[in-house]
Amino acid sequence: MNTLDHTHDPAARSWLAAANAAGCDFPIQNLPFAVLRRRGSGEAFRGAVAIGDQALDLAALANAKLLTGAAAEALALAAQPTLNAFMAAGPEAWRALRHALFALLREGAAQEAAVRSGLLPLAEVEYTLPARVGDYTDFYTSLDHAVNCMRIMRPDADAPANFRWLPQAYHGRVSTLGVSGQRFHRPRGQWLPPGAQEPVFAPCAAMDYECELALWIGPGNAAGQPIALAQAEQHLFGIGLLNDWSARDIQMWEMAPLGPFHAKNFATTVSPWIVTLDALAPYRLPWTRAAGEPQPLPYLDDPAVRGQGAFDIRLEVWLESEAARLQGRAPARLSATSFRHQYWSAAQMIAHHAAGGCGLQPGDLLGSGTISGPGPGEAGALLELAHGGRQPVDIGGGEQRGFLRDGDSIILRGWCDKSGAARIGFGECRGTVLPAVDA
C-alpha cells in the first residue's frame, strides 16, 4: 500500500501558476500520465505528464538530460509512444520518476526554464490510448448497481448468489477501445421488442452508458502463477475513467445464458490520463463488509486491504444533447457517487483475475464495473436512473431521456478532494453516440 511522502504535501506549489489554482485537476501532487502529441501535427505520439493547464512532453524532457540514475531510466520508458514499458517497470521506477518530476516542477526549481520549454497547452493536444492493450476485462462489482438492475425487473429481486462471493467479470473487446472524444455508431443487433414472440435485427433502441474506472495493469504475471492479494496493487499502474457503453435491449436478449456480446463490443471509452496509486495515497479508506454480508474467501482477504484497500474517488455523469450543443446550453448532470461504495476492491479484482491461472500483461485494462452508490442520484447507468426507460430523466431545455439518443454525449468526471490534502483530478472521459450505419 502507498504511504504519504513529501509529494503529498498540500502546501507544495509549482512554478506553473495554473497548477496552483483552486479546483485544478492537475496540481503538482497529481502528475498523471498520458500519451499525446500536438493536435493536427502528425508528430509521433509520446508520453506526457499533466501539470495545471499544460502537458510536460516527456520525450523533450528526456532529450534535455536533466535527470540521472533510476529517474532517467524510468523517464526513457515513459517518453515512448506507449506506456507499456514504463508500466512493466514497476512501483520503484514509477516512484523514482514521480519524485524527480515533482522536484523539477516545484516552485523554486533551478531547472524551471529548461522544463518550461517542454510544456504543451492541454487545449492544443490530441490523445491516443495510453497503452497497447492486449486484453480488456470488464468487472461487475457494485452491489447497489446489481440490486437496482435486478429490481427493475422484479421489485423483490436480489443480486445473484455468487455476486457476494466473487468479483464477476467478462472479457471485452480491445479493437473498439477508444480514448476520450470517441464517436461511435449505434450498434445493430438482435433484440426482442416488447410483446413480440420473435426477435428483430435492428439498431439498438436502448443505448446506455456505464460509469466505471479504468484499472491499468503494470507488471504482469506468468500464466499459471496467481497474484496474492497482498501483492495485487504492485501490479496496478494507475486508474482512469471508463465508459462501458451498453446496448440494453440487445444485452437482455443475448445474455441468456452467456455473457454480453453485441451489447458491449461496439465501443468502450477511456480517459487519456492515468492517475498513479501514489497520487491517490491520501484518499485511501478501509475496505469493509457490511454486517450480515458474507466474508471473502481467504484468497480474497488480507489485513492490508481491509485497512486501506478502498479509494474515495468521486464521480459525476453529465449528458450533453445535440440540441444543447446547438443552443449553447450546458450539459446536464445526471448523477454523482464514489468508488468507495464498490463491493469489491481493485486489489481483489486483480487477485481474482489471476487466481485461475490467467496471465496478465503490462497495459492490460480492467473495468471496475458500473459504480453506483446507495443513495438517490448515485446510479452509474441510465438503466437505473430511468428505471429501465419507464421514468425518463429531465435533462433541461424540455428534453428527457429514458435511454440515449443519437447525438448525445456522455461526460464522466472524477476527482478526490478533502481537507488537508491536495485535490487530485482525473480529467474527463467523453464519448458521443452517432446514428447506426445503414444496413
Q: Which residues are catalytic?
A: 145
Distance CA 431, CA 421 (A): 31
Which residue reads 458521443 in cell numbers?
Answer: 432
Say what the alpha-carbon torsion angle 167, 169, 174, 177 is, to the nearest 10 degrees. Answer: -70
Distance CA 232, CA 237 (A): 11
**Burial of residue 354, with CB atoms counted within 10 A of its CB: 0-12 exposed, 13-18 middle, 19 or more buried:** buried
**Burial of residue 286, with CB atoms counted within 10 A of its CB: 0-12 exposed, 13-18 middle, 19 or more buried:** exposed
SS3 label, residue 21: coil
151 CB neighbour count, 10 Å cutoff: 15
Cell for 324?
444543447
Distance CA 314, CA 333 (A): 14
Which residue reads 441510465 in cell numbers?
Answer: 382
**Burial of residue 10, with CB atoms counted within 10 A of its CB: 0-12 exposed, 13-18 middle, 19 or more buried:** middle
Supply the DSSP symbol for 329: P
Distance CA 385, CA 318 (A): 13
Q: Which residues pair with 181 in a beta bridge?
A: none
Distance CA 175, CA 432 (A): 18
Distance CA 417, CA 423 (A): 5
- Which H or E run includes 185? strand 182-185
